[in-house]
Structure 1
């Protein structure tokens, strides 16, 4: 549930942009033209005034309809950091041919990313000629959902230090689910995480070749790092990205600031080490290739697979009683319905489904995704398929 409520109301039209539209009023109150009020035309000009008024109202209504969806996009940008954003923002827009200047004059949501996005949106919007030279006010109202299930990775902010950058894709702040956190790590060529202690269990999926603790890993490989295990990841000759799921999850404040959510241990490292799960060793039980499961990790904390679904495949509605499911889309597109809410997903989506929540998925294009469960368990049902 990415965006739950928005009301966009033009003062001159008093119409709601989310939900049923209200009847348009007959006079354009709240619209001010230079030197005169267009609702006070002289009787001799009444037909012209009515035409101008109708054109102005039509231009405002068109803008409201188009800005509704775009305002939802602004909420989605802000909600990559926290899902509980709600409140009202009033914007004043001074409109001139080819440009507009927007100012937030009231803000009860108090979210800088949301306000900045709305200002940029209103300034860049192609306002119709009937509104040129006028000033209008638009109130926006946002309502927070109970949680968030789908986030688009391109909207997520990156922060880093040196050759290491981090993007928090899913955590308790932006999803409402503390069972697991998902981050993406970017290492520039020649960069290293340093030897660090994983204080929580980690599952790494490598999107490029790297080394971990001196051992080569290829793009498409996974590595399970048990809690209290040290690991050092190096991008030797090329930039590397990796997706990391940590369980239990939480509020990843240090990662949002660009710091790795682990502590350095120097040259001395504890006993034990990561468990390498190359793609070539994954167990294939269509439609999945299982990498991490209790049989390979000796842990029931999580399971990880690559799932592939041909276009037009539908996964029937079902529930995982105790497990959280996470998906990191690699390719394709589809629709996911979670607790009755249908959402579009793309090759850059991440998805989280809490326990005991009904969900279904339909692939509208060939899908490939990393699929994780915490705790492990639901991945075993694929083995029973013929």
Structure 2
């Protein structure tokens, strides 16, 4: 094969990929393969062009073809690993990137990819070691630095993380992701002015990045006293809620300490959190930030889709109270005995609402409208109140509503994204 010809098609394909024209690069590579079908590296480049088009099955096949033609081609194993990682086949991806490293041990690109896979499978200690080894070979390797920062974040090594991020920005000052990360870290440290500066730079570099919009919006929120107060309250309630679930003794101590005050103040607290949320959304800078391109869904629609399921969840939760109280009274429980139960119930209700709102805010925007669930939950709440207050529906009305509400609540919790946790490879 003529080397000048080989260099020419490879350079042309790489240029087309660099200018984001993978379809044209694919055609060029296929033309070359028509004349040289056993050229292993050409199959690797073909896999790359298909990968860039998200045609993962075809890319997998092309990478395997390259391996069959040349089992010593480390780039083929690297390419196959990338494809499998993006197809959520983490174990296979790790096996193949380790094979690429066996064939070419001193390769920062392969070590960065291994670190990425290890981070994505929640093995930050191993990921950190792989990224640091890659940086020993190439101290300015961006992927290794990125994965080192990711591992440091997962390990909560905050000071080393900050140093890594500053070095990353010095190497890639035009990287929106690096500035976004610095903004996120400044926000965690409650350095709101610095966070705003980094998020604004990230927004300038990537105006359509929704995570940057969200981060900048949160920064503006916490710069006001009322926002910081709500943030502190939210953080405290989250500590108590998560701590009690994880059997943390200190959290249980706080739970019993605030049980009565929280139940007495639950309505004012909910009103305060609602007011703060509305105040934040109506802030002039936040409203300006939320001006989106034509064709984007309205903010009202986005809010309805994001929090509609949470409101349904709350309505169904509240709908349990009237029939439960009615049944307890019918069983002979004295009125005075209901106080502690209501106190605990209202406390749990407030904490559940706060956790659900927080989870919904962090989840991707649902595609499906929650209108059906919201209407159904409203009807159930009305039926719950009516069956408990209207004597004509006694004695079967309240128990029937309680059972049907329990079934609906179970279905909603099983189907709503904010109650599910999952992690996928990027």
TM range (shorter): under 0.3
More strand by share: 1
For normalisation by structure 2, the TM-score amounts to 0.23
Find the structure with the greater CA-based Rg.
2
Greater RCO, CA 8 A, separation 6+: 1
